[in-house]
Amino acid sequence: MRTVPTILHLDMDAFYASAEQASKPSLRGKAVVVGGLGPRGVVATASYEARVFGVHSAMPMAQARRLAPNAAYLTPRFTFYRAISEQVMAMLRDLSPLVEPLSLDEAFVDLEAGGAAWDEESARLAGVRLRADIRAVTALTGSVGLAACKMLAKIASEQAKPDGLVLIEPGTERALLGPMSVRILPGVGPATGDHLRRAGIITVEEIVEAGEDEVVRLLGKAHGHGLYAMALARDDRAVVAERDTKSVSVEDTYDVDIHDRVRVRMEVQRLADRCVRRLRGAGLSGRTIVLKVRRYDFSTLTRSETLRGPTDDPAVVREAAARLLEAVDTTGGVRLLGVGVSGLADYTQEDLFAQAAGEPDLAEEESGSAAEEPVVEESAGGERLWRAGHDVRHTEYGHGWVQGSGLGRVTVRFETPDDVEPGRVRTFRTDDPGLEPAEPLPLVSGGVRG
């Protein structure tokens, strides 16, 4: 482990919600919740104003609405978030060739590898400049942690939130970690945390006091040795620039349980096609087809089939998924379905049993990510349903975003990121010929459009 704090961890602050607030002047300083808006939706991100009411990520959306009934509830715009993420990641790569993205809004950076920092002072300066650059380019804030290892850098960024910078000085690590909960350590989830608590171990210092042999006895060799080392602030994990993708998958949660077996089969076929689009978009193929089914009683079943060679053929993936479905009882109803491909490779091998004659070239179709978030959909009765939070343009009033839609009406607030004051609200018929979906505007004038 190095002796200077040149590992940086960046975590954007309430990323999705903050992007929405920056995009929509009327929501700045207000409680904003982003996620699935259906009865079974979950919170993806909540703004800090919403967190005051107890709303947090992964919470059921219905519970969030009870806690913060006056918050703005928006569906995600992942294409928009990815565009901002690409800007941020480009800034990180300017600092170092060793950037390890963990998600759209989070990454480790080895400052020493890029010559951006070599001691405590230069590391702090690099962090200060990065935060200023992010704000200038994206209008958003990020929290930065600096330490001599990845574990401590991530802990530091948590302490820095929101919109701050924390540097953990070498030599102070043990004193910092000691009183913290064992849950702060990587690899300690709810189950491991409860197991340690039952053994009387609640804090990191109590792991050290218990001794390595006792921790290994409680958790096993592989986990025990690693956890004890981290309790001593030892983390030799390197920043890895390229993280290998292990699988590609898609899944959908349904607002109402699906009981019709024909409908279930159709959904699996549709998910298989979406999965192949993602697979081809990444230039990959895979040997193992995976089906995920969550039933009405919340029991989750996973079935898989390994082919003789890697494939990105939609017919092969559909047929394998259909075979897997035949072995699953769905008579009580299905609330979630997913199709995935693992055992990935960067080449394909023709499957002798594929019946792909006349199959469309899915690589030329709309990408999976775009297909998941249409701005406007049609209801069963043919009514246009506009998604809350998404961008639209009206021939007379210009750019705006959907506040809500239903009963034949859509409410739009007309404003842009450059506006200082909230824009005006107008209501239209959902089939108004002057209203159409629009691309998001850049958060900063002259920026990259999402």
Catalytic residues: 106
Count of other CB atoms within 10 angstroms of residue 240: 13
Q: 3-state SS string over 343-390?
A: EEECCCCCCCCCCCCCCCCHHHCCCHHHHCCCCEEECCCCCEEECCCC
**Residue 153: CA atoms inside 13 Å, Cβ hemisphere, count?**
31
Structure tokens at 323: 């075979």
Q: Which residue blocks in 149-220 are alpha helix, DSSP H?
A: 150-160, 173-177, 190-198, 204-210, 212-219
Tell me whether the omega of the peptide bond preceding residue 422 falls within 30 degrees of 0, making it cis.
no
- Local structure of 24: helix, strand or coil: coil
Contact between 123 and 4 (Cβ < 8 Å): yes
Structure tokens at 383: 């009514």
Count of other CB atoms within 10 angstroms of residue 394: 17
Return d(Cα 272, Cα 251) in angstroms, integer. Answer: 10
Torsion, CA 430, CA 436, CA 442, CA 448, rounded to 10: 140
Residues in the chain: 450
Structure tokens at 363: 């690589």
Q: Which of 371, 6, 319 is nearest to 169 (CA)?
A: 6
Is the backbone of residue 171 left (phi > 0), alpha (psi -120 to 50) or beta?
Answer: left
Contact between 23 and 76 (Cβ < 8 Å): no
Residues linked to residue 341 through DSSP beta bridges, in sequence order: 248, 289
With 0-12 / 13-18 / 19 or more C-beta atoms within 10 angstroms meaning exposed / middle / buried, residue 244 is: exposed
Contact between 43 and 55 (Cβ < 8 Å): yes
371: which residues sit within 8 A by CB, 6+ positions away? 274, 277
Helix (H) or strand (E) holding 228: helix 221-231
Helix (H) or strand (E) holding 210: helix 204-210
